[in-house]
Amino acid sequence: MELVRPDPEHLASYVAVLERGWSANSERGAEAGREELSAIRADAGAFLASMENREGKGPPVTLPDGSMARRLPGIRRWIWDGEFCGSIGLRWQPSTTALPLHCLGHIGYAVVPWKQGLGYATAALRLILPEARAVGLPYVEITTDPDNLASQRVIEANGGTLVEHFIKPQQFGSKPGLRFRITLT
């Protein structure tokens, strides 16, 4: 398993997964996947270029409640073992560790159901941490739901410690969440 920068060579495998109804967006689900398919069909090159967005350019981000928020600088990598297995993203604000309320954490990840339980999320998180160091973050925060024990194990396996129980902002349904921190040394 490796992390790859999304490129034309990997795109067909990603499209096939989206067409099956999968989406890396745990909050917006299949709707977000359909939006990505539309973006790929409209301009695959622009879609791929948007996966490496270190300046935060582009249209606003659609939140789970349908509201819009400004886009942050960020990168996405695809989890790859000969085919698309999942996605991991890193986002940040320049010169600060703080994130706006509409961004629950620095890193988000998802693995397709048929590849879960293979350690891919744990490895992907370990592999993206050097990217976080490279953009100057001394630590990253990752949030998950209290009942997502698999995600909690992934974070803890990478040195994450629980820093707080919190209530997600209204845009995310005011549901309980857990915030973990991984110190980057």
pLDDT tens-digit readout, 19-69: 999 998 877 778 889 999 999 999 999 999 999 999 999 889 888 888 899
**Residues for the chain: how many in total?**
185
DSSP H stretches of helix in the chain: 8-19, 30-42, 44-50, 120-134, 149-157
Output the pLDDT for position 158.
98
pLDDT tens-digit readout, 161-173: 999 999 999 888 8
DSSP H stretches of helix in 43-119: 44-50
- Structure token pair of residue 22: 């999968």
Own/partner pairs, 153-162, CB within 8 angstroms, 24+ separation: 153/122, 154/109, 154/121, 154/122, 154/125, 155/125, 155/180, 155/182, 156/180, 157/122, 157/125, 158/122, 158/125, 158/126, 158/129, 158/182, 159/183
Output the pLDDT for position 26.
78
Output the pLDDT for position 27.
76
- Structure token pair of residue 121: 């999320």
Region 140-148: what's the mean pLDDT? 97
Output the pLDDT for position 30.
83
Cα separation, 70 vs 87, whole angstroms:
21
Output the pLDDT for position 111.
97
pLDDT tens-digit readout, 92-137: 999 999 999 889 999 999 999 999 999 999 999 999 999 999 999 9
